[in-house]
Structure 1
């Protein structure tokens, strides 16, 4: 059973809450409060596995509730930068281990035996002579023990029964049967629905609006960009269909902005701004486009603003942060605002943003009722916060065997809109993860962004690693060297060496096929991708080897890497966002060419555990997968990579 966003009641008789994440009762119930929201990455499942392992129970023995946005109570709750599991592992394990150790201590005291002669297993404390006591029978005794008086120990890895196992997602059945409820499924009493007419070109501001032809709606509300929204006009009605009909009937005029903007010109401006290259013999230039997030669930949020505060239901990557921002906007204490995170049909950085949240808040405040703002797919594609464009010029000197001995990487790109004064050093820190033993310099020019930009899976590393690995692939091609061996010769004693060797051994060269490779050392983890493609450059097989230190959830690891690979297939072979006459051209999956099922190669994922501290995973495989796919295409066709996508003009 998966209960989402159900507030826990006050403690009753026979209930025990050893910490903010766990509640046990004398009827045998164990409830885990999931501290982070779920956007499809499986973080809830990992939290459940961590707790079940340390409590010595099965995941099926746990009940789950989603924590509301409250960083003071639950600690960091944002999910981004591939940090969720890294930051969550120790707190969740410690919380569950504390409960287990208190229960064992309670049983030992009742039996009058040393604690070390007792052990927990299958929801009970066992003793060789006295038998077993269920956790349910020990709740009151454990609650009476001062946690400071006991030693808390974690279950060592050799004794793990849950972590590292092949269990599936805790919410899989609900998702595939339709019982799962996402933000777009929220229904609260007296709910109204808002559809927003947004600016028709970049930066346009509403001038006049004529709603005389609008019928069957309750309100038409101007949205001021100063409130944190993108601007426009909201039509509020009792149903989605009525709101959309009302929006279509609006007549509006707009002013300002850049109605003549063209993304091809933006790329040319970036190319002209790239710092002058080093005078090295080998050079290459890569142009990378705008990318939209394209989550399966478009943006949405439901807000109920009251005189004394507000409640929000929404798919979010930052429930605590959204709570604070809404409280500041409304001028109320954060305790008066409750954020209920829902399941999210994808995020990829987009659900850190506040524009869709503030639309719901502004609309609800205007009509005094709960309002759900629902974006269409076209809204989502044409009014996103896009991955910035960039132009990369790489150059290198090579030795007699073709290996680079000195490199330079010169970049021109844009900052993220939430950090308009972002320094180049921060872009370098996020983006340049070059893991090879080749000295060199990275120089970055930042131009003002001409439209909204934001976090996108792997952020700047998705661009830097792509350019650097494609350039290495080109150097290996010129040297007629095997792509895997070429990189192994440059890695030294890097943590990447066993990872790349494992992937290369699994996917050996075959006649009639080309083999390309790329690596990433980022987020505290290591990843190597080896791609096999046919003579047309179409990928037929991908092997990804990943070292996240210790694999906690193997099937989750596989799913994350597969998602990264398919994102890479999509962006390397067609998906990009273009701007013409001031507006985004692409509007949906019909023209934002995300990979179809017949484009998916066979994907195999290998876990190569090093025992290092737990590393991040969600964004790790995208950059090297994109580079390896592009390099394989280049090798098969004998054409150099000049950007992304590889098979059509960029921009």
Structure 2
């Protein structure tokens, strides 16, 4: 971006607060952890994944760009992706708060891939607000300070006596100067360095209050531009014929000449993932794609189905023989199916590849890695590949990968023209990345009314982290004490996210990955949704074994007052223990992660056990300091809906190397009729710094729904989703 005398551009270059605080916390905790008992679980209790991401991004966290124009408009370039989580609104609120401008005056633009940000342009793990909270406030405070200094010079007065209000600097005598009128003077090099301090949080008037999304009107009116809405000159529609099994390869295209003669078809090219058709319209591309006669090579899991994979997972989670222990023992096993991310917007990208340069547009949560990978694929220097980040229509972890962007670049290079590539819904379900299936073995040992040991062994199909997170973990894990240094990517992520919040004596978690070559990816809550969901079911069963009420047992077992406050609020507002008709019941779950905690109480109608419905939900969350409570409520509601879906009905069946589900009608994600008519969400008062929220709501809700179903039906659900029939005719391969 060019510096303009007619606009105000500020880079924050000295705001080490967040990085220093994180560093001090880690340094101070390290020796104590080793003194207690060296090893991975103890270190993981001190550091969560958000800490790792914040630490990795700290060296470039200050490289934020904010501009105040002569018209007074404020624009901020956000080095994260907006995937529907409301991040642009929350960041706009932080900027508006510090600058004292109306929220509607702030425009947030998504930043292009910026390699100089290193690990500071990664969106994931509920970390965006946690890592941006202080840097954004400091950046906006620096801008405000320069505007105030410019006004002081103009009026010949002391800057300390000036105030800001509604986009203007205000003098004690009532004089005002709009930010627009001060923009050029504030940008002048002669103004010199200006000290800036963000407002104390006690002075916030916007942050912490519910605000509607700044992009809501554009979304509901169709004005919001997603990738395929972009008007890129000359870009032609493109679709890809994909193999009949996962990871299959192209041997020969047997009717290319005939397909090229079809109406509107411009080109047919082979790429590593299939055969691409470029046409004048998407309808013509679809028809031509379906008409292709392709001889396919073998895939990576040909012949494997659900039972084969589950057998491998059960074996991987096997527990060695243990000697008898005093007291009682509870053993439980759980299986969770593969799950599609199923974002409303399928994979898509636009690419314009020339001999000496390339430009790509796509929804990307890891744009720097996308840029580097595409540049290497095209044989171009990184600085010759421009990657524009576009707002996404959903992600849930899916857009950590850039499959469509890489495909579009390959096709554009091969056919010598710009292309706009779209995955069909069937392709997105069947060949898109998925949450790995998992198998869980839990053993709880108890004596004298207390749990004295808790072991959780998890086996999972290997999760692919080749989207930048692995590099971040490599860069940061070596700076941490103890066992995290030598742990693998998956192990670090697992042990920094999965924590049992209860005093259950000696508590251990182990993860074993089964290396099947499948297109997997992090799915909302990654390991926690299944792992902590299963644990919350066991907590209910432990309470029953010990003759205790599930809420009272949790309350007595939780580790601190903040956790108990969340649980108590949920039980009170949800009227825990109230009488329910036969076949209906309440269930509760608790979860803590990313410095936040939540409890979920649901009521379920399972009078027909094959068609259960959650009829009521009460959710309580403590996220430290909510920036936009309304946005937080939306995230918790989304987490509840994901939990209802994947606990009760939604999953992928693998059959002979390919998922059977190919549409929303087959992948039974919750519809409006499956959503509870009554949902009440309570956000506890602000304390401290913001915690993570995007993934927080799923695990507690999974446990609550499963527990309610168990109480309503008198069963112990062990396989999820609980209703998982193939009640459809699969699409042809």
Normalization by structure 1: what TM-score? 0.93
Structure 1 residue 148: Cα displacement: 6.3
Q: Within the alignment, does 1:626 sit opposite 2:702 as a pair?
A: yes
Match in the other structure for 2:645? 570
Greater shift, 53-62 or 601-610, is seen at: 601-610
CA contact (8 A) 2:613 2:675 kept: no
Greater shift, 294-303 or 331-340, is seen at: 331-340
Q: Within the alignment, does 1:82 sit opposite 2:126 as a pair?
A: yes
Q: Within the alignment, does 1:412 sit opposite 2:404 as a pair?
A: no
Describe the shift of the 1:485–1:147 C-alpha distance in structure 2 as closer, same or farther (beyond 3 A).
farther
Match in the other structure for 2:673? 598
Give the one of 400, 425, 428 matched to 1:352.
Answer: 400
Match in the other structure for 2:10? 18
Aligned residues: 636
Match in the other structure for 1:47? 91
The separation in 2 between residues aligned to 1:545 and 1:650, in whole angstroms, is 36
Structure 1 residue 649: Cα displacement: 6.9
Give SS of 1:218's match. strand
In structure 1, stretches of 5+ residues that fail to align are: 1-7, 225-230
Structure 1 residue 546: Cα displacement: 1.1
CA contact (8 A) 2:651 2:724 kept: no
Structure 1 residue 354: Cα displacement: 2.7
CA contact (8 A) 1:484 1:516 kept: no
- Output one character per residue of 1:108-146: Cα deviation in whole Å (capped at 9) or x when no partner: 233333322111111111122252222122223322366
CA contact (8 A) 1:292 1:381 kept: yes
Match in the other structure for 1:227? none
Name the Cα RMSD after superposition.
Answer: 2.2
CA contact (8 A) 1:21 1:35 kept: no
Give the one of 272, 275, 294 matched to 2:315.
Answer: 272
Give the one of 213, 216, 231 matched to 2:258.
Answer: 213
Structure 1 residue 235: Cα displacement: 1.0
Structure 1 residue 11: Cα displacement: 4.5
Give the one of 463, 467, 472 matched to 2:539.
Answer: 472
Q: Within the alignment, does 1:451 sit opposite 2:518 as a pair?
A: yes
CA contact (8 A) 1:417 1:449 kept: no
Match in the other structure for 1:542? 617
Describe the shift of the 1:320–1:42 C-alpha distance in structure 2 as closer, same or farther (beyond 3 A).
same
Match in the other structure for 2:38? none
- Output one character per residue of 1:218-262: Cα deviation in whole Å (capped at 9) or x when no partner: 1111112xxxxxx21111112111111111111011122343211
- Output one character per residue of 1:248-303: Cα deviation in whole Å (capped at 9) or x when no partner: 11101112234321112210221122131655621111011111110000000110
Describe the shift of the 1:147–1:628 C-alpha distance in structure 2 as closer, same or farther (beyond 3 A).
farther
Greater shift, 491-500 or 39-48, is seen at: 491-500
- Output one character per residue of 1:334-392: Cα deviation in whole Å (capped at 9) or x when no partner: 22111111121101111121322111000000122111111110000000221111111
Give the one of 631, 634, 637 matched to 1:559.
Answer: 634
Describe the shift of the 1:29–1:274 C-alpha distance in structure 2 as closer, same or farther (beyond 3 A).
closer
Match in the other structure for 1:3? none
The separation in 2 between residues aligned to 1:115 and 1:121, in whole angstroms, is 15
Greater shift, 132-141 or 87-96, is seen at: 132-141
Give the one of 706, 710, 717 matched to 1:641.
Answer: 717
Give the one of 361, 385, 392 matched to 2:440.
Answer: 392
CA contact (8 A) 2:600 2:620 kept: yes
Match in the other structure for 1:4? none
Match in the other structure for 1:503? 570
The separation in 2 between residues aligned to 1:174 and 1:413, in whole angstroms, is 40
CA contact (8 A) 1:644 1:650 kept: no
The separation in 1 between residues aligned to 2:347 and 2:187, in whole angstroms, is 43
The separation in 2 between residues aligned to 1:624 and 1:200, in whole angstroms, is 37
The separation in 2 between residues aligned to 1:423 and 1:157, in whole angstroms, is 36
Describe the shift of the 1:146–1:644 C-alpha distance in structure 2 as closer, same or farther (beyond 3 A).
farther
Describe the shift of the 1:272–1:609 C-alpha distance in structure 2 as closer, same or farther (beyond 3 A).
same
Match in the other structure for 1:368? 416
Give the one of 85, 109, 116 matched to 2:153.
Answer: 109
Structure 1 residue 621: Cα displacement: 0.8
Q: Within the alignment, does 1:435 sit opposite 2:509 as a pair?
A: no
Give the one of 649, 655, 658 matched to 1:580.
Answer: 655
Structure 1 residue 444: Cα displacement: 3.0
Q: Within the alignment, does 1:69 sit opposite 2:117 as a pair?
A: no
In structure 2, stretches of 5+ residues that fail to align are: 12-63, 471-486, 728-733
Match in the other structure for 1:237? 279
Give SS of 1:116's match. helix
Structure 1 residue 535: Cα displacement: 5.6
Give SS of 1:489's match. helix
Give SS of 2:386's match. strand
CA contact (8 A) 1:35 1:74 kept: no
Match in the other structure for 1:426? 492
CA contact (8 A) 2:150 2:191 kept: no
The separation in 2 between residues aligned to 1:146 and 1:639, in whole angstroms, is 75
CA contact (8 A) 2:331 2:444 kept: yes
The separation in 2 between residues aligned to 1:356 and 1:519, in whole angstroms, is 37
Give SS of 1:297's match. coil
CA contact (8 A) 1:69 1:320 kept: yes
Match in the other structure for 1:5? none
CA contact (8 A) 2:346 2:428 kept: yes
CA contact (8 A) 1:477 1:635 kept: no
Structure 1 residue 309: Cα displacement: 1.2
Normalization by structure 2: what TM-score? 0.83
Structure 1 residue 590: Cα displacement: 0.7
- Output one character per residue of 1:395-420: Cα deviation in whole Å (capped at 9) or x when no partner: 1122344x422111122222213469
Match in the other structure for 2:474? none
Structure 1 residue 36: Cα displacement: 1.9
The separation in 2 between residues aligned to 1:146 and 1:489, in whole angstroms, is 63
Greater shift, 506-515 or 590-599, is seen at: 506-515
The separation in 2 between residues aligned to 1:444 and 1:476, in whole angstroms, is 26
CA contact (8 A) 1:525 1:547 kept: yes
Structure 1 residue 74: Cα displacement: 9.4
CA contact (8 A) 2:591 2:699 kept: yes
Q: Within the alignment, does 1:380 sit opposite 2:421 as a pair?
A: no
Give SS of 1:272's match. helix
CA contact (8 A) 1:573 1:646 kept: yes
Give SS of 1:634's match. helix
Greater shift, 236-245 or 417-426, is seen at: 417-426
The separation in 2 between residues aligned to 1:431 and 1:129, in whole angstroms, is 55
Structure with the higher helix share, 1 or 2: 2
CA contact (8 A) 1:275 1:444 kept: no
Give SS of 1:495's match. helix
